[in-house]
Structure formats: structure tokens, C-alpha cells
Structure 1
Amino acid sequence: MKFKLYDYENDRSTDIELTPSQWKELQAFLKELKNPPAHDYKAVLDCFNRICSKLPPATRLTDKRRRAIIKAQKDGYDLEQVFRTAAQSAFLCGRNDRKWRASFDWIMQPGNLVKVAEGQYSDSVPAPAPSAPPMSGNPFDNYG
């Protein structure tokens, strides 16, 4: 099947030949562009509310929240894992000096999302100090 392709950079059209399988693949691609896959926004909110039960619930699905969910999924975030990480953070759950708690909208902000996903708000347990062998009275005894 012949197909006309317009080259905007060089301001000209080019005829290309497509096999039937290439034509079907192109049609499927164009259909997907026209009708992008549906995002299950409600499932994301339900997941947040189930996992982050100590945070304020997200009940309304606003356009801002839809856009944030699309962007996070497009950027490759595993939102369920992000919510689990947030739920395990004492700071994000309100155990801080101001009793402040993170919200769905706060977590979904791009700058905060990356920090939560990378564990920057995770509770840290101080690592035990490395134990060094006691030094002898002569500092040169410790070498060789």
C-alpha cells in the first residue's frame, strides 16, 4: 500500500510503500494516539486511601489530580510503592514538631514525588559506629 509522507523539514512529500502488516501497525499506533489508554484514577485514589490511612483521605477526583496521576505514571513512578513509602514515614504521617501531615496533593507534586520515591522522608536508623581496634601505645605498631 502506498502512503504519502510529508517532510516538513524539507517542505516536500514522499511516497513510501508499506506492507499490509506495517499498515496495520501504523493504524493501531494512530488509533492509540487518538484514544489514549484510560487511566484508572479512582483506583489510584483508593490505593492511596487504603495504604496511607494515617494521612488525610483523597476523596474528590479533580482535574489537577488527574493531571498529576497521568504525569506520575508517564514518568514511570510505581504509585503504590510511593504510597507505601509515604505511609512508613513518621514525618509524613504527622509525627513531627508541627503535627503536619502530607496530603495526596502534596505527595503528587513532582518535586515531592521524587523525594518520597527515593526514600528521602524514610525514617532513618542511625548506623552503628564502626568499631576500630584499639591502638597500641606505639602508632607504628598499627602498620604492617
Structure 2
Amino acid sequence: MSMKHLKYCPELNQITGSINATILLLQLEYWFAKMTGGKFYKFLDSCEHELYKQGDSWVEELGFSKQEFRTAFSKIGKVYTSKKAFKESKDLFNGKYYASYYDRIKGLTYYIRNDAKLSELFDDDSNKILYSEEKSTENTEDVLRTPQIIIPANPKTSSPLSVEYNKLLTSVKDTHPTKVCVPYETIKALFNQYCPSYPQLTLLTAKRKTLLKKLWYDMGQTLENFKQAFLSAENSDFLSGRLGSWRASFDWLIQEDKFVALLEGCYTNNRRQSQFSPSTPSAPKPHSKFTTMYSHYWDFEELEKLEDQYIDRQIAKYSTMSVALD
């Protein structure tokens, strides 16, 4: 059976902040060493995208959950939810080692490397360790670059790690602690306040509390995320039912993937509109759902080419400035 391995250097944990972030950093370095052009795209999980290939995602490659990946990347990278936000940023990396942005037209997430900062992290000696190739008769796509310690990606195979370290690695992926103080009633009040277009929430069932507990723990244990998500849901013509007969429910909104999509602005209206305040009882319904449709005769391929050229120049400019400052 073909088996691939993940790199791991425990010395980096104090810098990255977690074991998962260290593994992700080294895997990013692996892909940047293989790719050219200063950036590459990669899928978070398996999907129906025409460019996706089986196994070609972070979740499948690392064995992380989607939330574990997001948490790990947030420790070492700056996340942009759109290409526009990335292009308009005055500080691409915000002091971190990487940046990523989501191209909504292509449906791809791109990753960019902060060469200047990473050159400070890895000296010449460490680079020899990080990028030493393990000689093998296996296909190079099946065996990843290997440092001093390796972790088999297949959990059923034996591992060269000590028992004590295996326990430590397992503890990172433990389920949520049983004693978590979740402000259920406050979240309920926020929904009723910021989502007046939806049916009022009156009962928090055990199932709803389970979903809210997971969101509360995974999303940083802050009410601001719930406020932002509920506002996005209220301001979305599609979710609030202002475009048709279907309307999202509270149970739909608090599903993890839907909640994250709300925070990332995936349900923002395609047209400019005023933001509805909590005091507004409901948003005005358009006379026809066709009033929100428009068309332009744009050459999207040409626009994409120009945007990619602009981003490449911006990355090159930032790298040149960083080297000059050093």
C-alpha cells in the first residue's frame, strides 16, 4: 500500500502556537517548493469543482477537520474572504507567514507566501532539514518531503513517535469540554433582535443547544460572531425570503458550514443596498424578483487576466520592499 507522510518539527510549536499549525506550515512550505509563480490554489475539502481531484484538499491530505484547518491557518496566515479585499489591503500579511484569498468567480482559494518573514524563520541549516528529500522508489506524489520526525497519514499504521507524544497529538483533537458556559439566552435574544424578518425564536431545544455549543467553542467564544452572522442573515434578500417563497430558519443558520459562510460574506446581496438596522421591523420586498437581476457584456477572462497580473505585481512589490527593509 502506498503511504504518504507529513512533516513535523516540534521546535516550531512555540512559534506557530500549536501542533496543527506547525504541521500546516511545513505542508505549505512543501507545496510552495513544488509550485511556481508565488502562489497556488488548493481546496479545503472534497467538492464538485471541475478542477478538484480525489485527495486534492487540505482535509484529505492532513486529516484535519475543516475547523481544525481554519484554526491552524489563522495562527500563521492572514485570511481574505475575497480577491478585492486582498487587492485593497495595505499590509498583505499583517505580520504573518502566509495570506489566502478566495476568488469567488473561479471558486478557488489561493495561498501566498511571505518570503521575507519565512527567511527569518528558517536559517540555512534548518532549510537543509526541512527540504531534504527522502529517497524512495515510491511515486513522488505519494511520498511527501520528510524531516527528522514523520507522522504517517494513515492512523492504522505504526508511528515512530513516542507514546507520550501520541497522547499529546490526540489531545489537540479532543472533543469539546463538557463544562462550557454558553450564553444560550443571550444568543437567542440577539437572533430575535437582529433578525426581525425571521420567525421569533422561542424555544432552545437540546439539538439547538448542541449546535450552539459547538459554534461557541469553535468560533472563539465571542458574541460578536453571532451578532455579525445574524446581521448578515437579515441583510440577505435570499435568506430572509425577500426574493421568493423560501426562507432560512434559525436551525439552518446555526449549522456550522452555513454559519461560517455567513461570517465570510457568502450570502451578501449582489447589488448595493442599505444595511437594515435592528430597529427596522422588516426589509421592503421588491415588486418582482427580477428587479435584482442585471447583465453586462464584460470579457471576464480578460478581467481575470488583468487582476492576476495586478496581484503578481503587488506580491513582487511587497517582497522587494521587505528585502530592502532587511
TM-superposed deviation, 1:9 = 2.8
Task: Identify the match of residue 41 of structure 1 among 157, 169, 184.
Answer: 184
The Cα of 1:37 is off from its aligned counterpart by 3.9
Query: C-alpha root-mean-square deviation of aligned residues, in Å?
Result: 2.5
The within-5 A match list for 1:1-144 is 9=163, 36-76=179-219, 78-97=225-244, 99-125=245-271
- The number of aligned residues is 98
Deviation digits for residues 4-42 of structure 1, max 9, x if unmatched? xxxx936xxxxxxxxxxxxxxxxxxxxxx67x3421101
The one-letter code of the counterpart of 1:52 is C
Aligned-pair distance for 1:53?
Answer: 0.7
- Letter of the structure 2 residue corresponding to residue 55 of structure 1: Y
Cα 1:64/1:123, change in 2 over 3 Å: same
Residue identity in the other structure for 2:188: L
What are the superposed Cα offsets for residues 60-93 of structure 1, whole Å, 9 maximum, x if unpaired?
0111111111111112161111101111111111
**Residue in 2 that maps onto 1:15:** none
User: 1:96 & 1:85 partners in 2: Cα distance?
Assistant: 15
CA distance in 1: counterparts of 2:187 and 2:260, whole angstroms = 17
Q: Whole-Å Cα distance in 1 between the matches of residues 297 and 184 of structure 2?
A: 46
- TM-score of the aligned structures, taking structure 2 as reference length: 0.28
Which consecutive residues of structure 1, in runs of 5 or more, have no partner in the other structure? 1-7, 11-32, 131-144
Provide TM-score, normalisation by structure 1.
0.60
2:261–2:267 contact (8 Å) kept in structure 1? yes
Structure 2: runs of 5 or more not aligned: 1-161, 165-176, 272-293, 299-326
Structure 1 moving runs of 4+ over 2 Å: none
